[in-house]
Structure 1
Amino acid sequence: MLDTIEFANPQFFWLLLLLPIAALWYFFKRKEETASLKISTIKGFSTDSFLPKLKPLLFVLRLLALAAIITALARPQTVENSSKTKTTKGIDIVMAIDVSSSMLARDLKPNRLAALKKVAADFINKRPNDRIGLVAYAGEAYTKTPITSDKSIVLNSLKEITYGSLEDGTAIGMGLATAVNRLKESKALSKVIILLTDGVNNAGFIEPQTAAELAVEYEIKTYTIGLGTNGNALSPIAINSDGSFRYGMRPVEIDEKLLEDIAKTTGGSFFRATNNESLESIYDEINKLEKTEISEFKYTKYDEKYRPLLLFACFILLLEWILRHTIFRSFI
């Protein structure tokens, strides 16, 4: 318990230095305080009483009372700190993820989709105060998870995203429009879409530029990420008879100009991820750019402990006064 006690006025402990000085003064002056009587002999006087030897106890009690008063002046107290956080500027985020067959390319380890899911999960865990939703798109798009503050739901849905749930293709406009649709009714002060693709827009009935204009209308910022190495990548080129993919080297085609235009139009930024490390750094950068404002309220509870010391000092002084005027009265 003592390690939890603090002193509000510790400077008063300097007064404790006076106590040994007072003790020395009493040691050298105590004989002068007792009246003396010179007689030729003490024969006939009883000298068996031990009370005169206990007379210094009165001074000890007084010093003890002073020590308690000084400690009380230093104001011993226990301090309990607590804090409460409140999000003052929440952010709603929708992650639009390309799940076309090209996302199984192995230029990222173990493949683009698996690498993305790992990094996206880390990003979600770093946003405890925001609502997040998921959109998956290939030849068409659908909402995997509406925006929610329950990160366990989002993370489980992210794990379930796989290739084959949608017709193959890359409908960037559809993916972006679906993400906008999830955010248009949001009351958050900041709305963000993270759109990732590894190809060019070759499917869907909504043009990417049209979807970008919708995002602007609803004040939704879009960060675009082009995923894939520069040059050629080991990618699916055919399907074997057993349903597995046959891999071969194919050129990486990413419409960087389109992704740059979408980001610029909506007030976001375009990033290029060529390996696992650069993909991680991109999500870290987005995490830094989109800060959630949080107010922290700190509460401090003080429990003063000086009262028992003062009561103890009063009791000691009263005891010293009673002893001085009763038991030791004949010796003072």
Structure 2
Amino acid sequence: MFRFEHPDALFLLLLIPVLAFIHLYLAKRRKKALEAFGNTELLTELMPNVSFKRPTVKFYIMLFAFILLIVTIAGPQYGSKLQTVKRKGIELIVALDVSNSMMAQDIEPNRLERAKRAISRLIDKLQNDRVGFIVFAGEAYVQLPITTDYPSAKMFLNSINTDIVGKQGTAIGAAIDKGIKSFTTQEDINRAIIVITDGENHEDDPIAAAGMAAERGIKIYTVGMGLPKGAPIPVTGGRSNDFMKDKDGNVVISKLDENTLQKIAITGNGAYIPANNIRNGINNLVDELGELEKSELEAKVYTDYNDQFQYFAALALLLIFIEFLILERKNRRLKHINIFEVKEEKNK
């Protein structure tokens, strides 16, 4: 597995196009200055030892050397050994509602975005626990199989939107059922499902699903996204004041169903967290999850990363040395030699 020990250093690569642009700009100015001074062909004859191409060649050699030095600073490494390590933790499934109602803006910037931020904070607080994602609307799908790779989890989290599930609706029961089936087969381990939704269930029986989870020792926590007074649902791709309407032309108001979410949490031996107190709620949830007994979890990780920076550094130094050897002026002794010139055969 290849990685950079200091990936932030790669942002220095943004300087490359800037330096190239500056060089092109100055070269163009020099060319215009020579043209204003006199005929360029005549000037070339008058200055036979002056090279107009060598400074450009020297610049791009140094530019490439600079790129290699940036890569060297970033610390390229290659994982040489895949090792099984054992850690103590729990397994956690986050089931996120991605139905259109999650775009309502009764909490800013909208319910879905606020939910993703809360999940991101939750991931930051996890230690050695396995986490997975399920997305649901009218149906439920596994977005991320359970893993200890938190950077990958955040990457998958950022890609979640309301278009990720084709069938609209809110099937909380299906999400819980999918979560139950998504845990590993390892025994004697504490597990929990966090359902993040506005609670407007229209598809199935989430209370019964929570009861099935509780029978298997899986705790169900619910996080309510939205406010009881509700808000209209923006139309995707429409104007700022375009909202979803029912068949009679009335604007649909999506309201938080706290009653259902509280029943799910109680049945699932968990707790309910309202959106208006989500930051403290997530902190309390992490504390409660931390009190669950940790079990040994096995995970595959790369160890013994070997540094590869020396190859990039050596090549960069070689380019710098080559650039030093190339003179900006033509060599008087070698100027008549042209290895690319094809000699014409004399006609016999």
Deviation, 1:258, is 2.2
**Residue in structure 1 matched with residue 266 of structure 2 by the alignment:** 264
**Residue in structure 1 matched with residue 255 of structure 2 by the alignment:** 253
Deviation, 1:155, is 0.9
AA at the equivalent of 1:181: K
Whether the aligned pair in 2 keeps the contact of 1:91 and 1:188 (CA below 8 Å) is no
CA shift digits 1:133-169 (9 cap, x unpaired):
0000001100001110111121111111101122111
**Residue in structure 1 matched with residue 81 of structure 2 by the alignment:** none
Deviation, 1:239, is 5.6
CA shift digits 1:244-265 (9 cap, x unpaired):
9823775442332222222112
**Residue in structure 1 matched with residue 228 of structure 2 by the alignment:** 230
**Residue in structure 1 matched with residue 92 of structure 2 by the alignment:** 93
Deviation, 1:113, is 0.8
Aligned equivalents of 1:243, 1:147: Cα separation in 2: 39
Aligned equivalents of 1:255, 1:134: Cα separation in 2: 22
Aligned equivalents of 1:263, 1:184: Cα separation in 2: 22
- 260-269 or 144-153: which moved more? 260-269
Whether the aligned pair in 2 keeps the contact of 1:94 and 1:132 (CA below 8 Å) is yes
Name the one with the larger strand percent: 1
Q: Which aligned pairs between 1:29-108 and structure 2 lie closer than 5 A?
A: 87-88=87-88, 90-108=89-107
Where do 5+ consecutive residues of structure 2 fail to align?
1-84, 245-250, 296-348
The answer to whether residue 161 in structure 2 is matched with residue 165 in structure 1 is no
Evaluate the alpha carbon distance shift between residue 246 and residue 129 of structure 1 in structure 2; reply closer, same or farther with a 3 A threshold: same
CA shift digits 1:173-216 (9 cap, x unpaired):
1111111111273435210110011132112xx42123112202
Deviation, 1:94, is 0.3
Q: Secondary structure at the match of 1:134?
A: strand
Deviation, 1:87, is 4.4
AA at the equivalent of 2:243: Y
The answer to whether residue 130 in structure 2 is matched with residue 131 in structure 1 is yes
CA shift digits 1:105-127 (9 cap, x unpaired):
11222111111111211110110
Aligned equivalents of 1:224, 1:105: Cα separation in 2: 19
Evaluate the alpha carbon distance shift between residue 210 and residue 286 of structure 1 in structure 2; reply closer, same or farther with a 3 A threshold: same
The answer to whether residue 317 in structure 2 is matched with residue 280 in structure 1 is no
**Residue in structure 1 matched with residue 187 of structure 2 by the alignment:** 187
The answer to whether residue 214 in structure 2 is matched with residue 216 in structure 1 is yes
Q: Secondary structure at the match of 1:103?
A: helix
User: For the aligned residues, what is the CA RMSD?
Assistant: 2.7
Whether the aligned pair in 2 keeps the contact of 1:221 and 1:267 (CA below 8 Å) is yes
Aligned equivalents of 1:218, 1:185: Cα separation in 2: 12
Deviation, 1:218, is 1.5
**Residue in structure 1 matched with residue 329 of structure 2 by the alignment:** none
Evaluate the alpha carbon distance shift between residue 149 and residue 105 of structure 1 in structure 2; reply closer, same or farther with a 3 A threshold: same
Q: Secondary structure at the match of 2:187?
A: coil
Q: Taking structure 1 as the reference length, what is the TM-score of the superposition?
A: 0.56
Percentage identity across paired residues of the two chains: 33
Q: Secondary structure at the match of 1:146?
A: strand
CA shift digits 1:241-284 (9 cap, x unpaired):
x699823775442332222222112210112113xxx2222111
AA at the equivalent of 2:107: L
Whether the aligned pair in 1 keeps the contact of 2:227 and 2:256 (CA below 8 Å) is no
**Residue in structure 2 matched with residue 75 of structure 1 by the alignment:** none
- 170-179 or 286-295: which moved more? 286-295
